[in-house]
Amino acid sequence: MTVDMDDMKLIITGGGTGGHIFPGLAVAKELLDKKKGHDILWVGARRGMESQMVPGQGIEYIPLSVTGLKGKGMLYKIASLANLARAFVQSLGIIRRYQPDVVLGVGGYASGPMGLAAIFTGKPLALAEQNAVPGLTNKWLGKWAKAVFVSWPGMERHFPQGKVELTGNPVRREFALIKDRADDGKLNILIAGGSQGASAVNSAVMEASRLMAHLAGRVAIIHQTGRADLEKVAAAAKASSLDWKPEAFLENMGEKLEWADLVISRAGAGAVSEICAAGRAAVYIPYPRAAGDHQAANAGPSVSEGAAILIREAVLTPESLAGVILDLERDRRKVKEMGAKARNLGRPHAASMMAGLLAELAGEAV
């Protein structure tokens, strides 16, 4: 039996980073755009990024007093465990009042208490795992979840048999609507090291710019630096002959991807999914301290299919970065081919597929 999406009551829980939040928002938007009777509640951390991003999207938000455990001192961990216990009790109360048909955990420590409460009360729990190597919360909750929606082939090995659905990672609809860029004689390069920037990438770009001075007039660069490095990157750009625009943070990433021919980026799940949906060639420089080296794993399918080039930060030098850019600037046909291969890896209907699967899970609970 399938519940009509008009009547489905859904709790989305989790957050902490844009990589967890944006997929949940994409699924919520897929449902809310139906303009019908479904009811969506988001439960996240009181101080998490989701507390700032979700309320403005027309979704009711309830905060939990929960904090992460990883990488903290013993006293902090004791306090966090106490907060987790309180958050679990609070989550039980939310479920009893709201009576959801299904709960969707999008990852991050904030999804733990609500996911556990869903299991404890017998409510169907689905998980969305964006990364090629699952996070600790999803890996633990996956033992009891009814379904796990994954972004990459081969993730079945991380979860109990029969639970995994390969949906892809939901991205905002604007990325799937991006068209191929008309050739204007320039190679447009978008550099995005994440919302906080990436100092190692920024330093390599600054030094590489000196090796690419002869490309003036042939390349244009938009560079998201993060706030910490903006001043020094801006000084390097001003001294350079290249058309190079540094910004601390880039709004309207869809517009920037539409402008770009080539993206130089970390390999967070959201970034990889958006780049593939947009059909853009990429050079991925994975964050080396990501848990389980999951950023390198996220980039793996794109690299193996010829849609991207991987440079490990351990071997990242101005020379290696400049060499890749120079090669691609000389071979625009390759850049176009890489972009086409990236688009083939994109899963633009991931949000719609997840919404349908959630309705099926809700129907099974009836």
Question: Residue 73 pLDDT more than 80?
Answer: no
Looking at the structure, do residues 148 and 190 belong to the same domain, yes or no?
no
Looking at the structure, do residues 279 and 356 belong to the same domain, yes or no?
no
Looking at the structure, do residues 274 and 321 belong to the same domain, yes or no?
yes
Q: What percent of the chain has pLDDT over 70?
A: 91
Looking at the structure, do residues 98 and 224 belong to the same domain, yes or no?
no
Give the range of the structural domain holding residue 226, as residue numbers without chain letter.
175-345
Looking at the structure, do residues 145 and 187 belong to the same domain, yes or no?
no
Residue 16 CA: distances (Å) to CA of 13, 49, 366: 11, 5, 32
Return the CATH number at 49. 3.40.50.2000
* pLDDT computed for residue 1 by the predictor: 45
Looking at the structure, do residues 208 and 263 belong to the same domain, yes or no?
yes
Question: Residue 311 pLDDT more than 50?
Answer: yes
Looking at the structure, do residues 243 and 109 belong to the same domain, yes or no?
no
Radius of gyration of the chain (CA): 21
- For residue range 81-98, what is the model confidence (pLDDT) as tens digits? 667 788 899 999 999 999
pLDDT band, very low/low/confident/very high, at 165 (cuts 50, 70, 90) = very high
- For residue range 221-256, what is the model confidence (pLDDT) as tens digits? 999 999 999 999 999 999 999 999 999 999 889 999
Looking at the structure, do residues 183 and 45 belong to the same domain, yes or no?
no
Question: Would you give the end-to-end CA distance of the chain in angstroms?
Answer: 8
Looking at the structure, do residues 180 and 226 belong to the same domain, yes or no?
yes
Looking at the structure, do residues 330 and 185 belong to the same domain, yes or no?
yes
Q: Which residues does 306 contact at the CB level (< 8 Å), separation at least 6?
A: 337, 338, 341
Looking at the structure, do residues 156 and 246 belong to the same domain, yes or no?
no
- For residue range 277-294, what is the model confidence (pLDDT) as tens digits? 999 999 999 999 988 899
Question: Residue 2 pLDDT more than 90?
Answer: no
Sequence-ordered strand ranges (E) for the chain: 9-13, 39-45, 60-64, 102-105, 125-129, 147-150, 164-166, 187-192, 219-224, 243-247, 262-265, 281-284, 308-310
Q: How many domains does the chain have?
A: 2
Looking at the structure, do residues 19 and 160 belong to the same domain, yes or no?
yes
Return the number of other C-beta atoms located less than 10 Å from residue 144's C-beta.
15
Output 252 or 37, whichever has higher pLDDT: 252
For the residues 342-357, what does the mean pLDDT come to?
93
pLDDT band, very low/low/confident/very high, at 366 (cuts 50, 70, 90) = very low
Helix (H), strand (E) at residue 25: helix 18-32
